[in-house]
Amino acid sequence: MTNVSREPFRPAITCDADVTTMWRTLMQPLGWHTNRLHIILVEDDGRSLPHLVEVDEMPGALTREDAVAVLHLLGHLLETGSAALMFARPGGATLTEADRSSCRELYAAATDAGVRLELIHVGTDTAIVPAPMDEVLPRSA
């Protein structure tokens, strides 16, 4: 008989690597047929809440308006703490321009709304890939 804990999964989020580990632990098996956004709220002490919110039927690339709507929702859910987001889509593990654009819009909307985001991730059919802000911002000439 397997000893399965009845305690909810609430990993401590103290650094970007913890966010990556959390998503890679939660999101198995990989593979999505539609674009989705997954949200986990993180308390000020770094403990994630034991709830996963999934928003289905997301567009392939988020517009500024889409990102503002997501952050408006998060602003109502978060009194303090932060949010961990993972944009999931079908396809390969390489970040696409649509992925970069969506993450860029989410980071910008979070800054404008005063909402703290953890490192955003993109989940694909084969991997969960971190999308750090400095990697999704447009390259300077």
Residue 77 resides in a domain: yes
Residue 89 resides in a domain: yes
Predicted pLDDT at 3: 63
Residue 124 resides in a domain: yes
Q: Which domain holds residue 129?
A: 16-135
d(CA 13, CA 74) in angstroms, rounded, equals: 18
Residue 21 resides in a domain: yes
Residue 141 resides in a domain: no
d(CA 66, CA 103) in angstroms, rounded, equals: 11
Residue 73 resides in a domain: yes
Predicted pLDDT at 79: 84
Strand partners, 117: 83
Predicted pLDDT at 42: 96
Residue 37 resides in a domain: yes
d(CA 113, CA 68) in angstroms, rounded, equals: 8
Number of folded domains that form the chain: 1
Q: What is the pLDDT along the chain (141 residues), one digit of tens a residue?
A: 566 667 888 899 999 999 999 999 999 899 999 999 999 999 999 999 999 999 999 999 999 999 999 999 998 888 899 999 999 999 999 999 999 999 999 999 999 999 999 999 999 999 999 999 988 877 654
Residue 89 token pair: 């889509």
Residue 11 resides in a domain: no
Predicted pLDDT at 46: 94
Predicted pLDDT at 114: 93
Predicted pLDDT at 9: 83
